[in-house]
Structure 1
Amino acid sequence: MSKNIDFVFKAIFQIENFWNFRSLLNYIAGLKFATLMIFKHAMVNNTQSSTALGGVKFKGRLTKSFVFNRCKQLSLILLSFSLLFSCTESQKTTSGASGDQSTQSSNELVAVGTGSRPANAPIVVPSDSLIVPGEGLGNIKLDAEAAPIMKKLGKPDAGDAAMGKAVATWFEQHDSTGHALSIFTAKDMGNSPVAKVKQIRVTAPAYKTEQGIGAFSTLTEIQKVFKVRKEKGYQIKQEQIAVYADPSGIAFEVDKDGRCIGIVVYAKGDLHPDTYARLVPGSIISK
């Protein structure tokens, strides 16, 4: 009988080495110790009138076959627990890896307009919020026919028109103190009656260049990306605003704190001197 018991415990040791899970090994060690104590107690008192093992009571001598059968049952139980623990650990590992990937994945995608992103993470700007110097802003393209764009945007909150030129402005939530989108259009008088987009101005931080530059960017950040030069600024509500333009077709309005408050997209070349007189009603152009 002792050989049979040794055989069972050798099998248990092999299960331990095979699965090699700390939590499982601790559980098995406790079971082995308890089982060994029961066997030793039973061998010493095998002549007693009754013995309990595995919840079964019987009278008489403890037989080899009984002990061996109980050992086999314990081996199966331990093997079942091994399989259960292995499945649980595998699910935890898979779940953890998936969570990390989701987070990463999740950490690569930058929130447009927040101004914050993980270090070295790629900048992702939605196409309808992308500023492209000399070309356009989102779905509004320079030199595109103005009528379909105006129809899509709806009635402007403010505007002015004269001599084939017009400016239309839309405010966020129709509140004149909110972020603004302005479009300057012009007709080629004498050649075409169709008004086309010539300049676009935006103050909402959701619109950015592919490098992540937009409203709320600092002048230092702008100068790292664009070769801007200082142009004539303007004054509005007793605040002086500086203007920095890049000949690729983009200009930045910068406040006294060195932070961008607005961006104008225009055709490549020099910034038109009347730009802010057109796009910022009530502004006074600096001398």
Structure 2
Amino acid sequence: MRQFNILSVFLLALVLGCNEPNKKTTEEDKEARLPAGAFPEYSGDLMIVPGKSIDNVFLGQDMQEVFKILGNPNDGDAAMGKAWGIWYLRDSTDTKKGMLSVYSSYKDSTMVTKDVKQIVVSASNYRTDKGLRIGVSLDEIKAVFPNVKKAEIYVSTVKKDTLVVYDAEDEGIAFDVRNKGDHFFTTAITVHPKKVSVNSTYLTIHPGWNKVQ
């Protein structure tokens, strides 16, 4: 009887041990079911550094490295050697939380490689070291960047709304701002090279919006 009990314990331990890899595979399969290019929104705050980077995507970075980090874009636009790549940011339940967009063009006259020229994010868990993130007011932006100025104005006849891009050009950061009642709030944040205007791109990142000339 004692030998039978020992054998039973051994077999139970063997079965439980074999089940662990299956559990791990199940979790991996869950992640694999996310659309190509989409990845779960990371927990905690992800940093926006004006004139430099958003999380682990930085200005001047080779686009092949960006693809290794983010996968293939979910959407985008391209023309004349310039392109926007758009990634949908999702949480672990595959719920869309915002977008990360990367503007790129040829790095030099050889026209061989492309690098990052601008980065735009519209997810609330990205912030600057001063706490600026999606949803902050225009007054909060001006408190941190007092020299911020209007760079572009867009209108939407469908939404009957106006979107204004405010640019702190010297610092390399810009903000998409919309009006809700009497409250002006941020809907996206752009990182671009310092002392270069945010509207220097060839392609627009505001589909459905018409630029006011």
TM-score between both structures, scaled by the size of structure 2: 0.68
Shift in Å, 1:277? 4.7
Letter aligned with residue 214 of structure 1:
R
Number of residues of Structure 1 aligned to a counterpart in Structure 2? 162
For the residue of structure 2 that corresponds to 1:147, the secondary structure is: helix
Q: Are 1:213 and 2:132 an aligned pair?
A: yes
For the residue of structure 2 that corresponds to 1:241, the secondary structure is: strand
Which residue pairs with 1:147 in the alignment?
A: 64
Letter aligned with residue 229 of structure 1:
K
Contact residue 104 and residue 114 of structure 2 kept, 8 A: yes
Identity of aligned residues (%): 34
Counterpart-to-counterpart distance in 2, 1:231 and 1:238: 20
- Seen in structure 2, the aligned counterparts of structure 1 residues 276 and 254 have a Cα distance that, compared at 3 Å, is farther
Consecutive unaligned residues in structure 2, runs of 5 or more = 1-43
Q: Provide the aligned C-alpha RMSD in A.
A: 2.5
- Seen in structure 2, the aligned counterparts of structure 1 residues 274 and 284 have a Cα distance that, compared at 3 Å, is farther
Shift in Å, 1:284? 1.3
Q: For residues 76-99 of structure 1, give each alpha carbon's deviation from its aligned partner in whole angstroms, at most 9, with x where no partner exists.
A: xxxxxxxxxxxxxxxxxxxxxxxx
Q: How does 1:49-64 map to 2 (within 5 A)?
A: none
Which residue pairs with 1:230 in the alignment?
A: 150
Contact residue 232 and residue 286 of structure 1 kept, 8 A: yes
Letter aligned with residue 56 of structure 2:
N
Shift in Å, 1:191? 2.3
Q: How does 1:152-191 map to 2 (within 5 A)?
A: 152-173=69-90, 178-188=97-107, 190-191=109-110
For the residue of structure 2 that corresponds to 1:152, the secondary structure is: helix
Q: For residues 74-130 of structure 1, give each alpha carbon's deviation from its aligned partner in whole angstroms, at most 9, with x where no partner exists.
A: xxxxxxxxxxxxxxxxxxxxxxxxxxxxxxxxxxxxxxxxxxxxxxxxxxx85xx11
Which residue pairs with 2:193 in the alignment?
A: 267
Match of 2:206 among 272, 275, 280: 280
For the residue of structure 2 that corresponds to 1:211, the secondary structure is: coil
Q: Are 1:244 and 2:170 an aligned pair?
A: no
Counterpart-to-counterpart distance in 2, 1:178 and 1:276: 27
Counterpart-to-counterpart distance in 2, 1:147 and 1:138: 17
Consecutive unaligned residues in structure 1, runs of 5 or more = 1-124
Q: For residues 115-170 of structure 1, give each alpha carbon's deviation from its aligned partner in whole angstroms, at most 9, with x where no partner exists.
A: xxxxxxxxxx85xx111111111111101111111122112111122222111111
Letter aligned with residue 152 of structure 1:
I
Counterpart-to-counterpart distance in 1, 2:98 and 2:143: 25
Contact residue 131 and residue 208 of structure 1 kept, 8 A: yes
Which one has the bigger helix percentage?
A: 1
Shift in Å, 1:275? 4.3
Which residue pairs with 2:113 in the alignment?
A: 194
For the residue of structure 1 that corresponds to 2:68, the secondary structure is: helix
Which one has the bigger strand percentage?
A: 2
Shift in Å, 1:235? 2.3
- Seen in structure 2, the aligned counterparts of structure 1 residues 154 and 208 have a Cα distance that, compared at 3 Å, is same
TM-score between both structures, scaled by the size of structure 1: 0.52
Q: For residues 6-50 of structure 1, give each alpha carbon's deviation from its aligned partner in whole angstroms, at most 9, with x where no partner exists.
A: xxxxxxxxxxxxxxxxxxxxxxxxxxxxxxxxxxxxxxxxxxxxx
Counterpart-to-counterpart distance in 1, 2:110 and 2:203: 26
Shift in Å, 1:241? 0.6
- Seen in structure 2, the aligned counterparts of structure 1 residues 176 and 245 have a Cα distance that, compared at 3 Å, is farther
Question: RCO greater where, 1 or 2, for CA within 8 Å and sep 6 or more?
Answer: 2
Which residue pairs with 1:255 in the alignment?
A: 178
Structure with greater Cα Rg: 1
Which residue pairs with 1:118 in the alignment?
A: none
Q: How does 1:59-208 map to 2 (within 5 A)?
A: 126=45, 129-173=46-90, 178-188=97-107, 190-208=109-127
Letter aligned with residue 158 of structure 1:
D
